[in-house]
Amino acid sequence: MLFAHGFGCDQNMWRYITPAFEKDYRLILFDYVGAGKSDITSYNPERYSTLQGYAQDVLDICETLNLKDIIFVGHSVSSMIGLLAAIEKPQLFKSMIMVGPSPCYINEDGYSGGFEKSDIEGLLETMDKNYIGWANFLAPQIMKNDDRPELGQELTESFCSTDPKIANQFARATFFSDNRNDLSKLQTPALILQCSDDLIAPLAVGDYLHEKLPQSTLNVMKAKGHCPHMSEPEETIKLIQEYLPETA
């Protein structure tokens, strides 16, 4: 099982669910360049201007560790990063677990991604001007679960620990990405874990993915917010465990 964290996060965010799988699977966790304890000197603005650069990182990890029969678990934007990697090297991947995925965040005619283009542009402008303020404002809204403020605080701290310039470029690569035309190319079975109330990936996005991904299973979770592996780990574990035997 290869776990890939989302924007503004790091591999530590998986700590609530990985113990449930460590007896049955070899677990691989990593930080993208600029996140967690990664080597920031390895950052290349050109490489990481699109999600394809991050997908190449995933493939590099697979090659270096000689991985095969991979169950890829991607949170948020990493779901599409994993999709791109699996399209390029389908022989490596056994199944995809997509946690809060979205192929396109911007509303267009006939498609509801959750944001207007002006919303995204305003978000990125705020990041440029006041990154810490932006993180403190947005992270709790992304996490939801206001009755457990420590969750939003952890996400805020994770955002704030990321290099602002790298975070801004990753945000641009994420929020301006459009992988809708790539969905039909995926040969790997996929589980879509859709939260019931998610600012980043609304319900319509999960329905769209389920319709367009050739071999997909959609589970709408009771969990609210965009990080169910942190806020509702037991539900997340249960749904993954129920799905995996189907794709064994």
Asked if residue 177 lies in contact with residue 208, where contact means CB atoms within 8 angstroms, the answer is no
Evaluate whether 5 touches 75 at the Cβ level (below 8 Å): yes
106: which strand partners? 115
Closest CA to 51 of 74, 92, 82, 30: 82
CATH number of 194's domain: 3.40.50.1820
Q: Looking at 5, 38, 76, 216, which residue is catalytic?
A: 76
* Neighbour tally for 15: CB within 10 Å: 12
229 is catalytic: no
Beta bridge partners of 111: 108
Give me the catalytic one of 38, 102, 177, 198: 198
Active site residue 109: no
The range of the structural domain enclosing residue 189 comes to: 2-247
Are 202 and 102 in contact, with CB atoms under 8 Å apart? no
pLDDT at residue 245 in the model = 81
- 8 and 162 Cβ atoms separated by less than 8 Å: yes
Q: Give the number of other CB atoms < 10 A from CB of residue 160.
A: 16
**Tokens found for residue 123:** 């978000």
Pairing of strands 70-75, 93-99: parallel
Taking only the tens of pLDDT, the chain with its 248 residues reads: 999 998 877 888 999 999 999 999 999 999 887 665 656 677 787 888 899 999 999 999 999 999 999 999 999 999 999 999 999 999 999 999 999 999 999 999 899 999 999 999 998 998 888 888 888 888 888 888 888 889 888 888 887 677 788 888 888 999 999 999 999 999 999 999 999 999 899 999 999 999 999 999 999 999 999 999 999 999 999 999 999 986 55
Distance in angstroms (rounded) separating the CA atoms of residues 148 and 14: 18
DSSP assigned state of 46:
T
Tell me how far apart the alpha carbons of residues 98 and 81 are, in angstroms, rounded to a whole number.
10
Angular region, 76: left φ>0, alpha ψ -120 to 50, beta rest: left
Q: What is the pLDDT of residue 34?
A: 62
Q: In sequence order, which residues have a C-beta less than 8 Å from that of residue 144 and are 6 or more positions away?
A: 152, 197, 199, 224, 225, 226, 231
pTM: 0.93
Give the residue ranges of DSSP H helices in the chain: 51-64, 77-88, 117-129, 131-143, 149-161, 164-175, 203-212, 228-231, 233-243
Number of domains in the chain: 1
Q: Is residue 210 among the annotated active site residues?
A: no
- The one catalytic residue among 5, 75, 226, 229: 226
Task: Give CA 242 to chain center in angstroms.
Answer: 21
Q: What pLDDT, on a 0 to 100 scale, did the predictor assign at position 40?
A: 67
